[in-house]
Every structure is written in structure tokens, then in C-alpha cells.
Structure 1
Amino acid sequence: RPHRSLSFDLIVLFPRDICPILKDPAALTAVIDLFEDHVRKNHQQLDLIVGLDARGFLFGPLLAQRLGLGFVLVRKKGKLPGTTVSVAYDLEYGKAEVEIQEDAVAPGQKVLLIDDLLATGGTLHAACELMEKLQAQIAGCLVVIELQELKGADKLKPHRVFSLLRY
């Protein structure tokens, strides 16, 4: 189980970069421990973890397995087989589109979204829009790192964001 200073330890050891976390098995375990602890305390009755392309795919399946939940992918346009639902959104430098398989989430399922970084909130907001299109219940969003000065969490309201590290 994580201890209270673990978030501080992660800030000192891995500032603004998840690559060293992935390289260090103890650090990766600590990140998943912190997410698991938060979810178990704050989110009962979840059905799925939804990971964002591509780094949400690194943390999401590990957390989903720990919680005994399924995991589904939100990907960049054109990457998923079968029928998909998509949402277009603006980036600081252009436009993008994300999609999910049409049958990945059933109406009424309670989901928690996960990604590595929250900056301006565009991609995570688009993923929330996808969940709303599929009539899922969004329990919240999880990120490893939040860049607070970019105010991405404001864009995601009313959905709550839990971040392990804030800069």
C-alpha cells in the first residue's frame, strides 16, 4: 500500500516525464498503488477503465486488472477495427479526432478515464464527449501528471480529475 510521502517521492524522482516511471518497476508499482487506493476509496461500482491513446494504455490495463474491471481504448481516428464512434476537437496546433468502438461501452456503464498527462484538456474532454455519446456514466478522470497552469481540469468540469503530480 502507498504511504503518504509517495507522491512527493515521485515528484522528486520523476519531474514532468513518465518514461523513468515506466523504466523503474518500483515506481510503476507505486503509481498503480496510488491510483488503486484512490479508486477504492472514491469510486465504488465501476464497470470499466477507459484509456486514452497512447499512454493511457500503459497505466489503464494495470489498474483495471488490479480492480477486476475491463479496459477499453480511446484511439486516434482510423486505428480501431469495426464500427466506431468519433469526436473531433481542436488542438493548440490544429485539429484531431478520437474514436472508440461502438460496442465498447454500454449505455449506463460507469467508467473512469485515464491518461498520463493533463495539459489543456482537449483530448480528455473529447474522450468524455465520446462517453456521453455512448450514454456512459463518467465517474471521473485520472492522470499521472497535471500541468495546472494550462487549466485543463477547468475544461473537464463537471467531471473531477485526480492527478498524482501537479506542476
Structure 2
Amino acid sequence: MSLDTLDLKSLVRTIPDYPKPGIMFRDITTLIGHADGFRAAIRRLAAPYEGEKIDAVAGIEARGFIVGGAVADRLGCGFIPIRKKGKLPWRAVGQDYQLEYGTDIIEMHEDAVKPGERVLIVDDLIATGGTAEAAVKLIKLVGGEVAGAAFVIDLPELGGVAKLSAHGVRSHALIATGGTA
């Protein structure tokens, strides 16, 4: 089977009732542990942006680091870690976002993006889009341009891609699936 026809969805494990009852957790560790599956996923995540000017890929903690770093390598650009508050060693800028109950904050180094640079946001999954939306706001805050967003999995009924679209961000996902993340 070629990398172009490999069924990536079959390589994602679904774990019921994790981390709490009623959640169907989509676990990509089985996908990234499968050599051909991982290569196929990275190729497909990067494909819409090949030939475009992408200055950096911003990966959202933690699985976004894995796939984002590989996409950055494929696109020949740098990588920016977007982390939870207090995890970066240098001066950081932050953006809060809504959780189911309350808020949280993600951060990146204040000098990670230069004004006018084009940044691709990458993560393993988009659900409600709160974290990805915060990443968009962070990149724009420091003068960067969001070139797009790419995800391994989209849970379309939760509206995350639509939320990014409202900010003018085009997104793509390799797998659309039902249920909660």
C-alpha cells in the first residue's frame, strides 16, 4: 500500500471514557508509532503549504510538537513551540482561552515570530478550537501572519475549524470523526 492511500483513521486508537466518562479520546500515538502512517500523515499535513512561503510552524503542546516539528522539517522552515503558561525559559507573550470550566493560558517566546512572518499552526486535533484560536491571536499579537492551520483530526461537530475560519484562517484536517476528543 502506498503512503497516498494508507487509511490513517484506522491507525488512530479510540479510548472510551478517557480522561473522564463520556469522552471518546482520539489517541494518535498509534498513528505516529506506525512508520508509514507517520510519514503519510506528515506528507499530507504539509502538502497544501508546499510551494508557499512558510517561515515557521507553530506546534501546540504537546502532540503538536511531534507532528509540527516533522512538518517544519518537511517544509524547510523553523519550529515554534506554543506551551502552557510558565513552561518557556525566556520572556513570553500569552493568550488566554476558554476551557469547559474556566480559562487557561498558552505562551510563546516574545521574539519567536518577526513582524510579517508567515506561520503555519499545527496540532494533533481540533475540537472546539479554543487553543488553536489562542495560537492565532498570539501570532497576530506579535505581528505575524497566520498562513493556515493543519490538524491530524477534526471533530467537526464541535466547530473548531469554523471558529478559525471566522478569523480568516484556512484549515485542513486529515481525518474527520465524530465524538468528543
Common topology (TM > 0.5): yes
Q: Secondary structure at the match of 1:79?
A: coil
- Aligned sequence identity (%): 41
Corresponding position of 1:99: 107
Paired letter, 2:146: I
Q: Does 1:23 align with 2:21?
A: no
Corresponding position of 2:120: 112
State the 1:36 CA deviation: 2.6
Q: Secondary structure at the match of 1:104?
A: coil
Paired letter, 2:8: L
Deviations for 1:36-82, whole angstroms, at most 9, x for unmatched residues? 32221xx6111000100111101111111122100011100000011
Corresponding position of 1:163: 173
Q: Give the aligned CA root-mean-square deviation in angstroms.
A: 1.4
Q: Secondary structure at the match of 1:112?
A: strand
Distance 1:28 1:82 in 2: 31
Q: Secondary structure at the match of 1:143?
A: strand
Q: Does 1:12 align with 2:10?
A: yes
Q: Which runs of 5+ in 1 are unaligned?
A: none
Q: Which runs of 5+ in 2 are unaligned?
A: 14-25
Is the 1:2–1:34 contact (alpha carbons within 8 Å) kept by the matching residues of 2?
A: no
Corresponding position of 2:21: none
Q: Secondary structure at the match of 1:82?
A: coil
Corresponding position of 1:134: 142
Q: Secondary structure at the match of 2:140?
A: helix
Q: Secondary structure at the match of 2:27?
A: coil
TM-score (norm 1): 0.92
State the 1:2 CA deviation: 4.0
| One of 89, 96, 120 as aligned partner of 1:88 | 96
Corresponding position of 1:38: 48
Paired letter, 1:35: L
Is the 2:57–2:119 contact (alpha carbons within 8 Å) kept by the matching residues of 1?
A: yes
Count residues in correspondence: 162
- Higher share of residues assigned helix: 1
TM-score (norm 2): 0.85
Is the 2:3–2:36 contact (alpha carbons within 8 Å) kept by the matching residues of 1?
A: no
Distance 1:137 1:2 in 2: 31
Paired letter, 2:171: V
Distance 1:95 1:45 in 2: 34
